[in-house]
Chains A and B, each alone.
Chain A
Amino acid sequence: MSDAPAKAVADRLLKVKRLNALLTPPKDLRKSLGAQAAAARPTGVLYGMPIAVKDNICTLEFTTSCGSRILEGYRSPYDATAVARLKAAGALIAGKTNCDEFAMGSSTEHSAYGRVIHPLDKTRVPGGSSGGSAALVAAGAVPAALGSDTGGSVRQPASFCGVVGIKPTYGRVSRYGLVAFGSSLDQIGVLGRSVHDAARVLSVISGRDPRDATCEDRDPLRLPTVPESLQGFVVGLPREYFPSELDPAVRRACERAVRMMKEQGAAVREVSLPHTPYAVPAYYVLAPAEASSNLARFDGVRYGPRFNGAADLRALYRSTRGQGFGAEVRRRILVGTYVLSAGYYDAYYRRAQQMRALIAQDFRNVFDRGVDLLFTPTTPTPAFKAGEKLSDPVSMYLSDIFTVTANLAGLPAISLPIGRVKGLPIGGQLIGQAFLEEEMLEAAYALERVVPATDEA
């Protein structure tokens, strides 16, 4: 490949620098893209496609800081499996995207490298934690980007920015090289301009990987064909996802999408997932508990900078972690340590684990009764104002209310644009059955084709 396409990719990315969505310095980006273009395999199915990668996914070319000071300047000695597969398919890794520190956040305001700006309204957040990936796709700088989704971190920013976001079934994509936050919840996902762009990338990165014992022993996802209609699909509308306090514009957009699914031949029925109200509380016990354990490895000994002056080893740990982690990560480590500590484990952690089982059972009950897919809003509101939820962590956590359940139950889900309110995008979510992404993507293709994604709801 000549230098021209690589130069064009770099130019497009640097043109949207004002969004603060890309962490890779321009010089490094130009140099690497040139080298990658020269080495790219022309027969690969993604030949020449620029794909940005969230900064918590390891890449050889670029630093992997996870949006944190504690990994500032860290270069991974290996590529994540997902990244290696993109390269093998001829894609160009188009730099690392800004994100909430260690993927903990719903607004991409919790990055040590500054907040990401919403591409359509600079006063608002792009969602998070994969906000940089979503903003770059929405701004047209790249056709697709990798993100990670632990509680909605691909789908919520996709919804806020008006792009497509897929979280695959847990075990569909290898987590090797994804810096762990909540290991039983994390999945690498894809953000794209369209269902097809995102699905194409997902099919390349999916499939068995001996380096990740939690990755299922399955072939890569096959790309489904675009269906003629939704004839034969049974779509469930869980009543707990349409509460009376739902933003009226979000409700209108969902109702319009449902009408269109019916017109396409889908059978739509109301269903119930009764334990949904407990999903966010369960998630905010389990995810911090896993995070407190996973982030124990960052201590100023093996990776990243050392913040010290300390003469004693424990003082070194404490000063490095105290200064290296930002406020939200510190808060979650403390909550996680608390719920796992003696005397509190049964009251919090064990109960949250049991609640997770009940939530997963709710989904099984609905799918066992003949429902193929569920349709819900992705988020309760469109993108909120920057700073609006920063001082109140619980209010921030509630923006994940419709997305965390798919992570708790390990199910695939996709968010796609279904309308706008005052120019801000609204996303609709389809939740599928485990490892039935093809069916979910077929329905998403059909819905995408008819829904007026940029019209006011």
Chain B
Amino acid sequence: MSVTRDEVLRIARLAELDVDDDTLPELAEQMSRILDYVAQLSAVPANGAMKGFVPGPDAIRFRPDEVYPQPLAFGPDEFAPAFKEGFFVVPRLDQFE
């Protein structure tokens, strides 16, 4: 499985991640190596009906439908990069993709 430079860029766009040109060849090579390695999973016959396994409780427990006070010692204005009058401040979204 060889991942091309264009595929890395496409995936990086999906992941909202800037990747600089200098690291692209190495990244493509390492991703290819990782995907080659995990591809050995295909050696095991696929079973479409078989379910995956997730540990933990079999069913989600429901809590009483009550409003609890926020257990926060301080609000987002103290840890957000930009916060004003109850809102996170961000630059304008130029265009939808």
Q: Cα distance A24–B81 when bound, in Å?
A: 22
Among A282, A312, A410, contact of B41 (Cβ-Cβ < 8 Å): A282
Query: How far does the Cβ of B19 sit from chain A's closest Cβ, in whole Å?
Result: 7
Structural contact, B78 and A77, CB atoms closer than 8 A: yes
The chain A residue with its CB closest to the CB of B88 is A301
Task: Provide the residues of chain B in CB contact with A296, threshold 8 Å.
Answer: 16
The chain B residue with its CB closest to the CB of A353 is B52
Structural contact, B16 and A355, CB atoms closer than 8 A: no
In the complex, which residues 413-442 of chain A have their Cβ closer than 8 Å to any Cβ of chain B?
A: 434
Structural contact, A333 and B15, CB atoms closer than 8 A: yes
Residue A294, interface by CB 8 Å: no
State whether A314 and B93 are in contact (beta carbons under 8 Å apart), knowing that A353-B52, A356-B52 are contacts in the complex. Answer: yes
Task: Provide the residues of chain A in CB contact with B39, threshold 8 Å.
Answer: 281
Structural contact, A323 and B72, CB atoms closer than 8 A: no
In the complex, which residues 68-108 of chain A have their Cβ closer than 8 Å to any Cβ of chain B?
A: 74-78
Structural contact, B53 and A356, CB atoms closer than 8 A: yes
Query: How far does the Cβ of A216 sit from chain B's closest Cβ, in whole Å?
Result: 6
In the complex, which residues 382-424 of chain A have their Cβ closer than 8 Å to any Cβ of chain B?
A: 392-394, 397, 408-410
Task: Provide the residues of chain B in CB contact with A317, threshold 8 Å.
Answer: 16
Query: How far does the Cβ of B56 sit from chain A's closest Cβ, in whole Å?
Result: 4
Among A171, A284, A337, contact of B14 (Cβ-Cβ < 8 Å): A337
Q: What is the size, in residues, of chain A's interface with B at 8 Å between Cβ atoms?
A: 78
Q: Cα distance A350–B15 when bound, in Å?
A: 20
Residue A321, interface by CB 8 Å: yes
Structural contact, B56 and A350, CB atoms closer than 8 A: no
Q: Cα distance A171–B55 when bound, in Å?
A: 8
Structural contact, A321 and B18, CB atoms closer than 8 A: yes
Residue A214, interface by CB 8 Å: yes
Residue B57, interface by CB 8 Å: yes
Structural contact, B61 and A299, CB atoms closer than 8 A: no
Residue B91, interface by CB 8 Å: yes
Structural contact, A334 and B57, CB atoms closer than 8 A: no
Query: How far does the Cβ of A102 sit from chain B's closest Cβ, in whole Å?
Result: 14
Candidate in B30, B40, B73, B76 with the most chain A CB atoms within 10 angstroms = B30
Structural contact, B82 and A306, CB atoms closer than 8 A: yes
Task: Provide the residues of chain A in CB contact with B8, threshold 8 Å.
Answer: 334
Among A169, A306, A312, contact of B94 (Cβ-Cβ < 8 Å): A312
Query: How far does the Cβ of A398 sit from chain B's closest Cβ, in whole Å?
Result: 9
Q: Cα distance A339–B93 when bound, in Å?
A: 28
| A 125-150 to B, binary, CB cutoff 8 A, 1 in contact else 0 | 00000000000000000000000000
Q: Cα distance A393–B27 when bound, in Å?
A: 11
Residue A310, interface by CB 8 Å: yes
| A 190-226 to B, binary, CB cutoff 8 A, 1 in contact else 0 | 0000000000000000000010011011000000000
Residue B11, interface by CB 8 Å: yes
The chain A residue with its CB closest to the CB of B16 is A317
Structural contact, A354 and B50, CB atoms closer than 8 A: yes
State whether A285 and B38 are in contact (beta carbons under 8 Å apart), knowing that A302-B76, A302-B80, A322-B20 are contacts in the complex. Answer: yes
Task: Provide the residues of chain A in CB contact with B20, threshold 8 Å.
Answer: 322
With contacts defined as CB atoms under 8 Å apart, how many contacts are there between chain A and chain B in the complex? 182
Query: How far does the Cβ of A189 sit from chain B's closest Cβ, in whole Å?
Result: 15
Q: Cα distance A278–B19 when bound, in Å?
A: 31
| A 156-170 to B, binary, CB cutoff 8 A, 1 in contact else 0 | 000000000000011
Query: How far does the Cβ of B30 sit from chain A's closest Cβ, in whole Å?
Result: 6
Residue B67, interface by CB 8 Å: no
Candidate in A214, A334, A394, A397 with the most chain B CB atoms within 10 angstroms = A334
Q: Cα distance A292–B17 when bound, in Å?
A: 11
Query: How far does the Cβ of B49 sit from chain A's closest Cβ, in whole Å?
Result: 10
Query: How far does the Cβ of B78 sit from chain A's closest Cβ, in whole Å?
Result: 7
Residue A264, interface by CB 8 Å: no
Among B52, B80, B94, contact of A303 (Cβ-Cβ < 8 Å): B80
Structural contact, A170 and B16, CB atoms closer than 8 A: no
The chain A residue with its CB closest to the CB of B63 is A210
Q: What are 26 sample pairs from A and B whose C-beta atoms fall under 8 A apart? A: A60-B73, A169-B55, A214-B56, A278-B44, A281-B40, A285-B38, A301-B80, A303-B80, A314-B16, A314-B93, A315-B91, A316-B90, A318-B17, A325-B17, A334-B17, A334-B27, A337-B15, A348-B38, A352-B38, A354-B46, A354-B51, A355-B44, A358-B44, A393-B30, A410-B55, A410-B56
Known: A77-B75, A330-B27, A352-B41. 14 other contacts (CB 8 A): A184-B55, A213-B60, A214-B56, A216-B56, A285-B38, A311-B91, A312-B92, A316-B90, A321-B17, A322-B18, A325-B17, A331-B31, A334-B12, A338-B7
Interface residues of A (CB under 8 A from B): 60, 74-78, 169-171, 184, 210, 213-214, 216-217, 275, 277-278, 281-282, 284-285, 292, 296, 299-306, 308, 310-319, 321-323, 325, 327, 330-331, 333-335, 337-339, 341, 347-348, 350-360, 392-394, 397, 408-410, 434
Interface residues of B (CB under 8 A from A): 3, 7-8, 11-12, 14-20, 23, 27, 30-31, 33-35, 37-42, 44, 46-47, 50-57, 60-61, 63, 71-76, 78-82, 88, 90-94, 97
The 4 closest A-B pairs by CB, nearest first: A410-B55, A322-B18, A353-B52, A357-B53
